[in-house]
Amino acid sequence: MQSRLPSPDWAHATTCAPFSVLQGFDEFFADLAPWFERHAGARAHGHLFAPERAEFAGGGASFSDGISDAAARRDYDPGGFLRNLIWAGRGECQCFMFGPADRQEIAWPLAIDRNAHIAVATGAWAVPLFRSGQDVAVLRKRAAELQRIEAAFLDILRAPQVRVRFGPAEFADRIDRLGAFRAQLTRRLQVAGQTPFRIGYGQIADVEVLNGPPAFLGTDTRLDAAPTRLKTQNTGPLSARVENFDEMTRALADPDPCALFDGNLFEPGHGPALRRHVAAPRSPLRFLPVPGGPVAEVEAWLAAPDGLGPEALWRGFTRKTLDDWLRRHPGHRSFSVIGHPQERAHRAFCRHVLPVGPDSFPRLCRALRELYGVPLPEGGPGGPGYDAAAHRAAFLGFLTFLKGQLGGQSALRVDPSWASQSVLPEGMAQSLLPDRIIHAGTLGCDRPSLPQVSGMRPRRCPIRRRSGRFPWPRSMSRT
């Protein structure tokens, strides 16, 4: 019969039963293991991977009459030692203590084991150092070492290969507790006549917003520039990090499962953008553009019934001029045009990311190349070697970046050209809601009804329907 040890690359449990790992909690609570054993009904070991010996439950020199506490035998195969320990105690719940002072060879086997439930209290190693009364120089050196070891362990737990298991009941309980705390905090602020200073995730690169709290506190300290160093967060798909992804999707099917914030939880909101509004020269029609859509074609159609060109359209509205236009055009109608998200993203990619010119975003392009590995051409799409395959690879890399950015995994600014089409109308609603929201794919059927509502002769919008392919940049030649 052939047999082998579990492969470290297999995405399964390497031990036979679930167990718990507690890091740092025994530094806050003396005799935590005996207390845990009495009240939780579990077999609670001490530091199994302490440098001197394995601290079994009860303080014995062996466990289950077969596993020795000798450090040399344990360190020869830490993973095998843990598997044997869990197997010897099968049928009962086991847990053990862990910390930066322990042997760290077991860190990676713990991180990839599905049966391991790990809870970490960061910084707990500082408690015994504070109580030791040693010299400051000695404490500083020891603290730096323990902090480095703990940071390395946390990096292992955050590694892309490590998968977590979503617990619906635990998540619901945590959300309930967060909601109760938020309600309590809000009430205390209201009673005290105060208000929280909220900084959205998309505003952490806005130096004026970051200088708001110092100005409120009355200090003279100001930031000259926002931090320029960016860190890529969770670049892979969420399904690769969660074991029970389908169960998590069903549990979070509620549009707002957290019920903690108004509006989109991750993507920053957008204002009404009155200066983007476009009105017909004489007709009571108003176009509320969605950036990234077929704006130029709709503007040409909007000006044609009055016998004028797009340059005659009313633009650059403010709140005052908007109110004046609404009063002068009774029976007015407004509309917006949305499109397929993928085609809209490709249009924004070809206008703002791919070319080099006044409409491009050089800072974003540099971050896409350096941080996200998007293969963008340095000099634009007109260089040698940039063919259809290179264009496809660059666009797919940009889509991967967008998926993470719109999910709140990037500090880069969310441009309206690729912001979610569900968020932009929320900003429009602050000043004027469109009477109709039309899909670009049905423009030939929906658009004539708008002039009919205003008493005008129907005209068909001259927008070319594409045959399932995305438009190529003008500077590229198809091969």
pLDDT in tens, 215-245: 877 888 888 887 666 666 666 677 777 878 8
- The lowest-confidence range among 68-82, 104-118, 180-194, 437-451 is 437-451
Tell whether 1 is covered by a domain. Answer: no
pLDDT band at 268 (very low <50, low <70, confident <90, very high): low
pLDDT of amino acid 49: 94
Q: Does 385 lie in the same domain as 422? A: yes
Task: Identify whether residues 172 and 153 lie together within a single domain.
Answer: no
**pLDDT for 328 beyond 90:** no
Q: Give the mean pLDDT of 260-281.
A: 66
Residues 122 and 225 in one domain: no
Whether 439 and 310 share a structural domain: yes
- pLDDT reported for residue 360: 84
Average of pLDDT values for 87-92?
86
Average pLDDT, the chain: 79
Clarify whether residues 37 and 87 are in a common domain. Answer: yes
Instruction: Identify whether residues 279 and 240 lie together within a single domain.
Output: no
| Sign of the CA dihedral with 343 first, then 348, 351, and 356 last | negative
Tell me the residue length of the chain.
Answer: 479
**pLDDT > 70? residue 80:** yes
What confidence category does residue 361 fall into, taking pLDDT thresholds of 50, 70 and 90? confident
Q: Is the domain of 140 the same as that of 48?
A: yes
How many domains in the chain? 3
What are the two backbone dihedrals, phi and then psi, of residue 110, each rounded to the nearest 5 degrees? -65, -40
Would 112 be classed as within a structural domain? yes
Q: Which of 224, 251, 278 is the last residue of a domain?
A: 251
Where does the pLDDT of residue 475 fall: very low under 50, low under 70, confident under 90, or very high at 90 and above?
A: very low
Contact yes or no for 36/19 (Cβ under 8 A): no
Query: Looking at beta carbons, which pairs linking 182-187 to residues 24 or more positions away fall under 8 Å?
Result: 182/260
pLDDT surpasses 90 at 428: no
* In-domain check, residue 265: no
User: Are both 36 and 62 inside the same structural domain?
Assistant: yes
Residue 98's pLDDT band, with cuts at 50, 70 and 90, is very high
CA 346 centroid distance within chain:
22
Average pLDDT over residues 339-350: 87
Residue 114 has phi, psi (to 5 degrees) of -65, -25
Burial class (CB in 10 A: 0-12, 13-18, 19+), 286: buried
What is the pLDDT at residue 146? Answer: 92
Residue 12's pLDDT band, with cuts at 50, 70 and 90, is: low
User: By three-state DSSP, how is residue 151 classified?
Assistant: helix
Q: Within this chain, do residues 45 and 149 fall inside the same structural domain, yes or no?
A: yes
* Residue where a domain terminates, one of 137, 157, 177: 157
The answer to whether residue 163 sits within a structural domain is: no
192-230: b (≥16 Cβ within 10 Å) or e: eeeeeeeeeebbebeeebbeeeeeeeeeeeeeeeeeeee
Q: Which domain holds residue 202?
A: 168-251
Residue 150 and residue 35 share a domain: yes
Give 188-250 as a DSSP string: HHHHTT-------GGGTT-HHHHTHHHHHHT-----SS----------S-GGGTBTTHHHHHH
User: Within a domain: residue 6?
Assistant: no
Cα–Cα distance measured from residue 55 to residue 45, given in angstroms and rounded to the nearest whole number = 6
> The domain that contains 32 carries what CATH number?
3.40.50
Average pLDDT of the residues in 72-96:
89
- Residues 194 and 74 reside in one and the same domain: no
Residues 429 and 477 in one domain: yes
Highest mean pLDDT among 74-88, 185-199, 300-314, 352-366: 74-88
Q: Which of 107, 137, 157 represents a domain boundary (last residue)?
A: 157
